[in-house]
């Protein structure tokens, strides 16, 4: 990133932070209304604003991977609460509770690249990048109509994903700066 590009991005940071704040507020409002689908999309949009702003270049997956892999802005220990660990456990199993014929979190990227439909799961001690892949897959499942509002398993998955993504976004929001000083 050139010095001029960095300065332009630094000047935009207050506006991006304001947009992120608005998205988080909307996510929480829709969660209060028991609309997990809309709430998750607003929260993902907040996260999207952060990682696209903070990452130097590349597509979405490369941008959030860069943000989570770096460890400079967030570490897995920053998210370890009982609530988040419980949600990780729900995504770790990724098995439908009431309707075994329904999928959990589908790996859309693999499917789009010509692979079989498969479920994403988390290991016992997932990295932030592994967690990010599952959260991104939940986003893809919503956008590409794999998740259904009437399916209770999908609602559980969305609630678990929201429970993980919210403290990640809040932790990133609390940071003083998302870009280097120059």
* Res 166: pLDDT: 95
- CA 171 to CA 74: how far, in whole Å? 7
The predicted model scores a pTM of 0.82
What is the tens place of the pLDDT at every residue in 105-133?
A: 767 667 667 777 667 777 777 788 888 88
Q: Which residues, 6+ apart, have CB-to-CB distance to 175 below 8 Å?
A: 73
| pLDDT above 70 coverage of the chain, percent | 75
Location of structure tokens 């693999």: 110
Q: Which pairs count as long-range contacts for 175-179, CB under 8 Å and 24+ apart, including other chains?
A: 175/73, 177/10, 177/13, 178/13, 178/16, 178/50, 178/53, 178/54, 178/73, 179/6, 179/9, 179/10, 179/13, 179/53, 179/54
pLDDT band at 25 (very low <50, low <70, confident <90, very high): very high
């Amino acid at each position: 990133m050139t010095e001029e590009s960095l300065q332009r991005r630094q000047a935009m940071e207050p506006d991006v932070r304001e947009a992120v704040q608005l998205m988080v507020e909307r996510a929480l409002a829709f969660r209060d209304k028991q609309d997990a689908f809309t709430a998750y999309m607003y929260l993902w949009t907040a996260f999207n604003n952060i990682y696209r702003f903070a990452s130097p270049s590349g597509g979405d997956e490369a941008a959030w991977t860069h943000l989570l892999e770096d460890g400079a802005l967030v570490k897995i220990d920053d998210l370890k609460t009982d609530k988040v660990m419980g949600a990780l456990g729900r995504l770790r199993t990724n098995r439908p509770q009431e309707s075994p014929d329904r999928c959990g979190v589908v790996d859309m990227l693999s499917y789009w690249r010509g692979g079989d439909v498969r479920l994403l799961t988390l290991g016992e001690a997932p990295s932030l990048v592994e967690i990010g892949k599952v959260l991104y897959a939940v986003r893809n499942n919503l956008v590409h109509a794999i998740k259904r509002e009437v399916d209770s398993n999908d609602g559980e998955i969305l609630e678990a994903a929201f429970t993980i993504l919210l403290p990640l976004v809040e932790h990133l929001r609390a940071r003083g700066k998302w870009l280097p000083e120059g």
